[in-house]
Amino acid sequence: MDGASLSPPRSPGVSDTNGPAKDLAEQLRNARIEDIGGNFHFYISRQTTHELINKSTVTDILAQHIKDQKVLQRTARKTCRRGKALFAILVLVGKEAEIELFFKENILDDQLPLRRRDQDNEFNLWTEDGKPVTATGHWKSKHREKLYSFQWWFLATVFEDLRHYELSNNASLPTVPLLPEESHLVPLSGGFSDVFFVRFHPAQMEWSEVVDLDSKGPLCAVKRLHQSDQDEFEREQQILFRLTPKKDRHLIKLLSTFRKDGKWHLIFPFADSNLRAYWDCRPIPDFDRDTVLWSLTQMTGIAGALARIHKLTITINVTDHDQVDSPNGTTTRNNKKRYETLYGRHGDIKPENFLWFQHAIGVTDPRGVLQLADFGLGRLHGQHNSRGQTPTNDVPCSPTYEPPEYRIGKYVSQAYDMWSFGCVLLEFVTWLVLGAEEVYNFADYRGELSPRTGINDDNFYTITSDTTAMVRTKVLDWVNQLHRHKRSSRLMHDLLNLITEHLIVVEPSARIESKKLYQELNRVLNKATKNDDYALTPMPTCHDQCAMK
């Protein structure tokens, strides 16, 4: 190639040139978007880059510097195929005439970002594999600094399904401002993570599990873990990566994960509300076919999702450190490697973790769908006497829905989830029969002063000794009131019997397994779908006669 035609001794900066390069630089500056983190981090979407950096514009700009038509056309084609971002960066710096110097070093868009070494105020640049960028060697340091800064505008991640990304602290998260009606979405903080809400630029994602009805970019919930422990993050990530592709519409879908500023992040679709808020917004539900069958369908679907979590097993490498005393009185440590199988358990079932989506991929019901969320972190457990048990002091929980074994020193297993699910199902039936206010009244009704804490709690059980517990009498009284209510159909009686006989049971081994619960609820759902009389006709005196058949 004719180097003289490609690399003139002086390349005019944007500030002192007129014409297409200056126009393009202005367009690029106007197109930049500041990400939600502030700190003057900007990005330009890939769609905008592709639109602005087209063959006509590139050719017009390079024609100011390259007179050989063959070289001009070849350089323009290569730029539009593999160097659009690089060309845009050079235009912003005022060095677009030197793009062929970068091509000679095989530096194209896929080689970005270029690196600088810490504390190097001269901003000498290096490729990812450690080679110096000689194309900028004759530049003033201020121009190298500009290139280093401008390149991040074009390096916003394009998120794809179930991919993990290591994001530079200099990179922007490709978000767009929330809509005015979304200003109430403030970050939420919990014991293990916090959650903030963002809209991602529609051109910066290729997720198949989001519904973006208005093309303003999908609204998402980003969960940021407080701990920086890589093993814990990878454990949760592995669970979610394993469960998300199963196309279970009642399990929350993980979209992508990333690490930025030393923190691990998980991206999920934004939910319109949770189950408790759903109840509150419908204080007196219609006891009709649509409402009852939708509710039962959600109960059944969540049971199936829980069964899928319980079926999950992951094998990990574990190193045991055994101390061995030798005859001479010294102690040595033997490191023994072994494999351990971990079993899935949700561990925090409550209405707030049943998320409601008005619209979701694969869901046609206008009432939307409930999805089970917030499973994964720290809830895979090893073998101890029976499948998936762990000591209670290793278990985070929500006190209202915790089972009695949490307080009486027994090991916690997958049966933990079944008690909690039974409590939520009882509240679900309460909402259907009595309405949302009675869900809160039920909590007050069963409340007792805890001798352990001195606080009035709303557990579903009472501790009777250090090793024993019982279902609270007022919980059973409440169930009897529901049986007697004028709305209660045979379906309601069957659900209440299932809850009290197979879920809210003190002995963990007596609780029904999640797979069998799903099968039983599915049987009841099929019966209710075919028989309106069974599902809807009041039979308030049926309690003593209607055992599940």
- Which regions of 161-214 does DSSP assign to beta strands (E)? 164-166, 175-176, 188-189, 193-200, 205-206
Q: What is the predicted pLDDT for the residue at 9?
A: 39
Task: State the pLDDT confidence band at 156, using cuts at 50, 70 and 90.
Answer: very high
Domain that holds residue 122: 20-153
Claim to verify: residue 132 and residue 167 sit in the same structural domain: no
End-to-end CA distance of the chain: 86
Q: What is the predicted pLDDT for the residue at 247?
A: 78
Claim to verify: residue 84 and residue 176 sit in the same structural domain: no
Claim to verify: residue 113 and residue 131 sit in the same structural domain: yes
* Contact in structure between 345 and 243 (CB atoms under 8 Å): no
The verdict on residue 457 lying in a domain is yes
Inform me whether the pLDDT recorded for 547 exceeds 90.
no
* Contact in structure between 333 and 322 (CB atoms under 8 Å): yes
The verdict on residue 389 lying in a domain is no
Claim to verify: residue 117 and residue 177 sit in the same structural domain: no
* Contact in structure between 462 and 469 (CB atoms under 8 Å): yes
Q: Are strands 256-260 and 164-166 parallel, antiparallel or unpaired?
A: parallel
| Helix (H), strand (E) at residue 305 | helix 289-311
The verdict on residue 545 lying in a domain is no
Q: What is the predicted pLDDT for the residue at 6?
A: 41
The mean per-residue pLDDT over the stretch 170-180 comes to 92
Task: State the pLDDT confidence band at 130, using cuts at 50, 70 and 90.
Answer: very high
* Contact in structure between 60 and 81 (CB atoms under 8 Å): no
* Contact in structure between 472 and 444 (CB atoms under 8 Å): no
Q: What is the predicted pLDDT for the residue at 237?
A: 83
Inform me whether the pLDDT recorded for 55 exceeds 90.
yes
The verdict on residue 323 lying in a domain is no
* Contact in structure between 129 and 62 (CB atoms under 8 Å): no
Inform me whether the pLDDT recorded for 369 exceeds 90.
yes
pLDDT per residue as tens digits for the range 206-255 = 998 887 756 788 999 999 988 777 877 887 788 888 887 777 899 999 99
The verdict on residue 305 lying in a domain is yes
Inform me whether the pLDDT recorded for 546 exceeds 90.
no
Distance CA 290, CA 366 (A): 10
- Which regions of 244-305 does DSSP assign to beta strands (E)? 256-260, 263-269, 273-274
Q: What is the predicted pLDDT for the residue at 284?
A: 97
In terms of phi and psi (left: phi > 0; alpha: psi -120 to 50; beta: otherwise), the region of 42 is beta
Claim to verify: residue 103 and residue 130 sit in the same structural domain: yes
Claim to verify: residue 366 and residue 280 sit in the same structural domain: yes
Inform me whether the pLDDT recorded for 384 exceeds 60.
no
Which three-class secondary structure state does DSSP give residue 335?
Answer: strand
Inform me whether the pLDDT recorded for 326 exceeds 60.
no
Claim to verify: residue 183 and residue 298 sit in the same structural domain: no
Distance CA 429, CA 209 (A): 30
Burial of 129 (0-12, 13-18, 19+ CB in 10 A): exposed
More confident residue, 67 or 397: 67
The verdict on residue 9 lying in a domain is no
Q: Which residues contact 172 (CB under 8 A, 6 or more apart)?
A: 33, 34, 35, 37, 41, 42, 43, 152, 153, 156
The residue from 111, 138, 153 where one domain ends is 153
* Contact in structure between 88 and 30 (CB atoms under 8 Å): no
Claim to verify: residue 227 and residue 105 sit in the same structural domain: no
Structural domain total, the chain: 3
Q: What is the predicted pLDDT for the residue at 4?
A: 37
What are 118's strand-pairing partners? none
Task: State the pLDDT confidence band at 363, using cuts at 50, 70 and 90.
Answer: confident
The verdict on residue 543 lying in a domain is no
Claim to verify: residue 348 and residue 458 sit in the same structural domain: yes
Claim to verify: residue 296 and residue 428 sit in the same structural domain: yes
Q: What is the predicted pLDDT for the residue at 141?
A: 96
The verdict on residue 265 lying in a domain is yes
Claim to verify: residue 264 and residue 278 sit in the same structural domain: no
Which three-class secondary structure state does DSSP give residue 218?
Answer: coil
Inform me whether the pLDDT recorded for 447 exceeds 70.
yes
Identify the CATH number of the domain in which residue 233 sits: 3.30.200.20
Q: What is the predicted pLDDT for the residue at 479?
A: 97
The residue from 153, 176, 198 where one domain ends is 153
pLDDT per residue as tens digits for the range 265-302 = 999 999 999 999 999 999 999 999 999 999 999 999 99
Inform me whether the pLDDT recorded for 379 exceeds 70.
no
| Helix (H), strand (E) at residue 318 | strand 313-325
Q: What is the predicted pLDDT for the residue at 393?
A: 47
The residue from 135, 153, 171 where one domain ends is 153
Identify the CATH number of the domain in which residue 361 sits: 1.10.510.10
Claim to verify: residue 371 and residue 516 sit in the same structural domain: yes
